[in-house]
Amino acid sequence: MRVHLFFPEVGSLKGKRAELNRVKALLRERLHVSVAEVAHQDSWQRSTLAVAIAARSVTLAEHTVDTIQRALDGRFPQGVRLEYRLASWEDLESLG
């Protein structure tokens, strides 16, 4: 999953990183997903996160995606854009 965030109220990289650390902690600790910033590290109003979800079923993975969307919508009322793709282990093996 890619999560595109916009920080309109933040005026510095330090402010963005503080807010981003809170978001990453929320995702890691509450939703038990892996997360890393993958783009816009030097921009103080934008960020793109990569989020990896491991689940035992498609239903659980989709539930986690919905939970992430709701959690981020609540934190960023100006909007969050998510892109995601569900892949099975077999899908991933065929890429290698």
Read off the pTM.
Answer: 0.83
Domains of the chain: 2-85 (3.30.70.1120)
Closest CA to 47 of 23, 29, 78: 23
pLDDT, average across residues 87-96: 79
pLDDT at 48 over 70: yes
Lowest-pLDDT choice from 36-45, 59-68, 77-86: 77-86
Return the pLDDT at 50.
96
DSSP collapsed to 3 states, the chain: CEEEEECCCCCCHHHHHHHHHHHHHHHHHHHCCEEEEEECCCCCCEEEEEEECCCCCHHHHHHHHHHHHHHHHHHCCCCCEEECCCCCHHHHHHHC
